[in-house]
Amino acid sequence: YLHPQAQRFFHRILVDLVDSDQCQVIYSTHSPIFADMTRFESIRLLHKSAGEATSASWVHKDTDLSYLDNQLRRQKLNQYMDPSTSEALFARKVLLVEGHGDYLAAKLVADRLKIDLDAEGLSVVSCGGKNAIPFFARTCAALGIPALVMHDEDLYPDTGQPLAGWQLEENAKAPAQNAEILSAASGSENVFLLKPSLEGELGIGRAASDKPLKVIDALSSMKLEQMPVGLVAAVRALTGVEETVNSRG
């Protein structure tokens, strides 16, 4: 019954009590503000299916705890993470994407497929950047949340024309980034690539302003079969609508 500002304030009070070793705090919630994924070691996810006893899942393996703690510190996620990303904890299945433009694009495709994501308990979650995806993918895997990933491949082939400096930089760092996402997502069957990027497939320049708006404008004028293959395949996999083209990496 608290508005978002009060939720954030109250959650901060509870966290401060715990971090100062004043007491232990246990609460149940359906609010992503209170279910902070950056405090993954404290989350207990409860499951209840008809006719079955309630079960719980949590991040308990030392390898998962060490990996997530390292990712949290490397990416400084607890400093800028949007609380809405914790919506993944309440989803029946989730599609993890890089940013807001990818989020809007996936939602648009779901609408074209006439799938109500909320009604089906499905979520598209923007991770706030490609480097943050492994953290969320590994957290979902550790908690038993079915998760798919859609991201830019960021590899630019030699077409006979000199590559720009930023393209050379992307080519240098992308293989390691892509491999880390693939590992965190538990295999290629869960990963969908946009080659070389969503904007690139839609003809939107790297330096363009208002990219999310331009992404939606471009997709709105396309038929489903004209849209980037990786985008459509990722949403089909999330929603359970039969895939016609395989675009997994």
In 10 A of CB 219, how many CB atoms? 21
Assess contact for 119 and 247: CB atoms under 8 A.
no
DSSP code for 30: S
The C-alpha R_g of the chain, in whole angstroms, comes to 19
> Positive or negative CA dihedral for 84, 87, 88, 94?
negative
Which residues are within 8 A (CB) of 7 and not within 5 positions of it... i.e. 6 or more apart?
A: 31, 33, 34
User: Any catalytic annotation for residue 39?
Assistant: no
d(CA 170, CA 130): 12
Q: Which of 129, 79, 84, 113 is nearest to 236 (CA)?
A: 113
Which residue among the candidates 39, 112, 206, 236 is catalytic per the annotation? 206
Whose tokens are 């497939």? That residue is: 201
Which residues are within 8 A (CB) of 40 and not within 5 positions of it... i.e. 6 or more apart?
A: 59, 68, 72, 139, 142
Catalytic positions are: 206
